[in-house]
Amino acid sequence: MTKKTRTRFAPSPTGFLHIGGARTALFNWLFARHSGGQFVLRIEDTDQTRSTDESTRAILDAMSWLGLDCDEGPHFQAQRVDLHREMVRKLIAEGKAYYCTCTAEELEAKRKAALAAGKKPKYDGTCRNKDLKKSAGSVVRFRGAQTGITIVEDLIKGNITFNNDELDDLIIERGDGYPTYNFAVVIDDALMNITHVIRGDDHVNNTPRQILLYQALGFAVPKFAHVPMILGSDKARLSKRHGATSVMAYKEMGFLPEALVNYLVRLGWAHGDQEIFSLQELIDLFSLDAVGKSPAVFNPEKLLWLNAHYIKGAKITRLAEEMKPLWPEGAKNADPEFTQKVIADMQPRAKTLLEMTTLADFYFVESINYANEAGQKFLLPEVLQHLKDIAEKLPALPDFSKAGIENFLKTFGEERNIKLKIIAQPLRVALTGKTVSPGIDEVMVTLGKDRVIKRINDAVRFIETRAKA
């Protein structure tokens, strides 16, 4: 009987969930969903000096925001230490592990001597056959195979062969009694019945050691798939100098989770030339066969393009909710119906929600500052009378809709024998204080007749005051 697919994501809570970790989680989640299996979340918090509750919460929040729900967990590795210690004792009893009392200084001297002799700086087995007992500060090492080969049957990279004589007798329990990563991860994956270990290819060199541990403990070896790393535009490993690497930083910058999910899955996975995928499409189509063997390059512009696409297709009510924490103070208490109209104006133009709040700031101010570059350039004496006449005629305009305003401005230009562009930009600056905005008719409808008339009159006074100065 075929085992039910079980994947896992096992972050260490020593910082925020970064882009690389999020992609690993996403690939595991999609693989489990595609195969009708289960996705397990495990927090690997045995590093007691670096693990924090704050980081754990940040990781869980990021997973929740991305929509990567788990079927089991979160499990906490630190709560499983007794299981790990039990397995350490089992290996010692079977002669497959031993106590080592070599000090850090001795190990460093051995490393330097090996390098000087042109050898690989691995542990030389000093304590391997001493049959030592547990003592203060002693560690436990796995008695690794010294001959033969270990083959990693990688579902992405193909078979990778390692000579066992190049592998260390790795430490499986530290002097403080806590398991090391390589040991704890094997025990937890085995006892949680994980069938597929999908992780970054920075773990490739750990895998042969872990396979030997599975075999020594009598556990079935899971299938491994190592995903190539993510690089910055300069082909160096993605880091803060390439921009934000924390998932939640993208939320704070006004990205939608579906845009980030769509983008992350395309970093290393492809389905023909298709760029935009719904979540259900990703679940239906995802396979490890389509994951590339080469590193993926992070392209912020592509992510912005995707985000703009998802903003355009989102419901106004949803965007209004997402934007609540992003608005400046003056906009946070605005009438919700008015705010939704503002969002509708900006929705086709903004690449991020944060950009939308910046572009839309003029809607929420009591008065516009015209003493800026736009005001100096376009609010000139030659447009003064036009603006006065528009402000005078607007109160009687019966149809204050986009079509009604468009017809009003067209008729206004024809009556004065002037082209619309003569008054369009001054009117835009009068209403927004900017040279770029949504269409004037859209802005006027959203602002409402009273605000529009007030702002035009304010601009008139600005021109008159400048003329007198």
Of the residues 120, 130, 134, 240, only one is catalytic, namely: 240
Residue written as token pair 């991305």: 66
Say if residue 45 is exposed, middle or buried (CB neighbours under 10 Å; 0-12, 13-18, 19+). buried
Stated length of the chain: 469
CA–CA separation, 159 vs 174, rounded Å? 32
Long-range CB contacts for residues 349-353, cutoff 8 Å, separation at least 24: 349/438, 350/308, 350/311, 351/304, 351/305, 351/307, 351/308, 351/311, 352/253, 352/254, 352/255, 352/304, 352/307, 352/311, 353/254, 353/255, 353/256, 353/311, 353/319, 353/322, 353/323, 353/326
Q: For residues 60 and 258, give the distance between their C-alpha atoms in angstroms, rounded to a whole number.
A: 17
- Separation CA 314–CA 317 (nearest Å): 9
**251 catalytically annotated:** no
Nearest to 171 by CA among 213, 139, 219, 206: 139
**Nearest CA among 437, 68, 65, 69 for reference residue 252:** 65
Q: What's the CA gap between 368 and 349, in Å, rounded? A: 22
- Give yes or no for a contact between 42 and 74, defined as CB atoms under 8 angstroms apart: yes
Q: What amino acid is encoded at 38 in this protein? A: Q
Largest pairwise CA distance in the chain: 105
User: Which two tokens mark 140?
Assistant: 């436990």
Q: Distance (Å, rounded) from C-alpha 207 to C-alpha 181?
A: 12
Question: In this structure, which amino acid lies at residue 18?
Answer: H
State both tokens at 28: 């595991």
**CB neighbour list of residue 131: distance below 8 Å, 6 or more residues apart:** 98
Distance CA 468, CA 354 (A): 40
Residue that is written with structure tokens 């590795």 in the block: 77
Query: Active-site residue numbers?
Result: 240
